[in-house]
Structure 1
Amino acid sequence: MSRTFAAMGDRNFRWFFLARAITMITGSMSAIALAFAVLEIDNDPARLSYVLTAFTVSNIVFVLFGGVVADRLPRALVIQTCYVVDILSIGAIAVLLFTGTATVPVMVALASVNGASTAFVLPAMQGIIPQLTRPETLQQANAMLSFVRSAVVIGGPIIAGILVTTVGPAWAMVVQVAGWLVAIPVLALVKLPPPAGTGTFSMFADLRVGWGEFWSRSWLWTIVLAFMVMNAIHIGAWGVVGPYIAKNDERLGIAGWGWVLSAEGVGVLLMTLVLMWLPLRRPLRWGMIGMAAFALPLVLLGAHPVVFAVAAAAFLAGLGHEVFSTGWNVAMMENIPGDKLSRVSSYDMLGSFVVMPIGTLVYGWLITRADPATVLTASAAIYAAVALATLLVPSVWRMGRVSPASDTSRVREGANS
């Protein structure tokens, strides 16, 4: 089998990849479906923000516990159980919409359940991948999953828009439920050893162990701290200021903003294909340089928001983002013990995501009080400076790949986690 698809040589990875692809494809329309479902109940953006915030807060609250559970229990089983919870919560929303009995408070409650479920799925997903494939195909496995993810980011909203406008948001949720129903038995075909016994279960003791693993690696907490700032800028400058400029500047326009986002997605998609065969020898060095490229579309968005220029810059930023994404996953999976990987990943997710709601609020306030070009130029400078400053940490700059020979024992240990 060629290097590009070498990970498919592992039976467990093939079944996991199929299940994950199904849920990513059917779930790619969930954000749009949920947004229009809430607006169908009450056409008030404030009500929509309540629902989205409920999902995010619930995810943040439970993600550390999700990491502990994913390290203690069979990860495929954790994922399957969460899919059952998702079927019940999203299915309930669909039923309420079909019957015309949905209310915003109920949607907030169900979104909270869905957010908590996601908090358990994500660390389990991160921890299971090294168990499914060989060390020498770890990068290809991550790139293949990223390929599907980026493809559905491009196509999912289009399909969702068609479903929502033709048959309503409830049917989009039915499609998502169907995806989980198919994925559960497919995941049952993944056969892994049971977790190794690690003494008496203690949630807080396990969290302390995970924190010790996290804090003992300077490359890890340095980049997580950097992303606390970078994600706040991204969600605020790109997610709030970007649509505002698109709506109010005819040089860009709403349709033009769609092209910009698509160009970014195409950049991500193209880089996943490259990384299926091109080894990343210095995953963190090149990854953080790639992340710094996002400063370019930010500057152009503020100073010269012309569709072609911003889209071209967004395409380059998408390339850089995927270099980091695959490099980061590989670095984590090669350097963190398999039986602690989900817990360490949960600390990564908590640190990276916890300030995103603050970023949204801050930029919503800034854009009403300052010139958008000034805000975005300053944001771009801070973003690039923070990303490149991580390269001053020796462990970030120097980190290379773990050779398959030296990594075999660690992966075998992880397979028993």
Structure 2
Amino acid sequence: MFKFLKIQKAMVKQLSKLETEKMALDDRETELTRGFETLSSEKQSLAAVVDTLRVRIETLETEKAALEAAQSDAIARLEFMEKEKIGSSRYWDYMWYIKTYHHDFTRAQALDYWYRTGWKLNENPCPFIDVGAIRSVSGNINPVIFLLGSNTDWVTHLTANPYEDRIDDHVARYREAKEKRTKCEGAVYTCVTGQYDSMAHLKFHEYLDPAWDYILYTDNDALLKNAAYGAWDVRPLEFSALDPVRNRRWHKTHPHVLLQNYDQSIWADGNVNILTDFLFKKIRTEHRNLLIPRHFARTCIYQEAAAVKAAGIDDPALVDAEVALEKAAGFPASYGLNETNIVYRRHKNPEIIRVMDEWWAMIEKYSKRDQLALSFILWKHGITVESVSFENARLLKDDFFTLAHA
């Protein structure tokens, strides 16, 4: 009996142990079930996130494709517009280009090739610009697009007359119309000493106004052999006592002496080609006594003086003496500045005569760079630079063609 009770007690103990283990297993099962449920929930959440991301990716890919299409379209439109600008500009000469570089292209193919490749090989689009020189500043910008959008004097890279093949016809038409005119409105004039300006550039202006005479003063023996050169009536110098530059400046500042048979005059430097009737219309409609282009880069004589000295184009001592005189007189900085490659005057006007005489006196005594004196003289006479100015001729690319001095 005692043995039986002992066995029974052991069995009860064992059963209790098993029940404890069973409870632990049940708890573990419950824990695992809950973990599985949590994982299932997380899986569902992750699946939802993945779906959201997939939709977002698809949306972004659609947007990317649309942006790429828009970018491609914008580039195509930009290329089309730039090629239109180049092709319609004076800088594109299809026949010259394919002949010079031995290309077998149609007109459209030639323009497309030059636009994409040719300029990168320093192929010039016409005979009168130097792509390599322009690229030294324009970098990766197409040189013609750079020229068309430039606010500097990069047009000085134009080194040949693009209108030379039309000279004879233009001059013949001008002289025929001139013979039929009922009155002369004035004189366009210039002065060439030695070989300062290329004769081909000088021969005529693209636009010749038959109401105006064209007069060329020179000491060039080849020019003086004939009474006319292109549209110009050739005359000998009226002043030659100083250096060639100042001799030209004397003619520039003395229309009231040279052109006494005319009431108004237009001075044009020998490297300026007048392309349209822009200036003549301005003269006829605005009735001003003096018109000169603004300077293309600066608005201050003192800045111009520094630029002249930095470029080494005149005696620094003369420049310094002129600046000292102007400062001592109280001439203000940034009063305005003109580029005097074109000067229109009603040259019989008494005040204009005084301005011209004083301007010449400064050029004769101080710097030969006439732009260093004009604003100062205007200021002395109470004339603002802006009141006598129009847009710089280098920037009015449709109306003027400014070539490089030889």
Q: Scaled by the length of structure 1, what TM-score is found?
A: 0.21
Greater share of helix? 1
Please tell me whether Structure 1 or Structure 2 has the larger radius of gyration of its CA atoms.
Answer: 2
Higher relative contact order (CA 8 A, sep 6+): 1
Higher strand share: 2
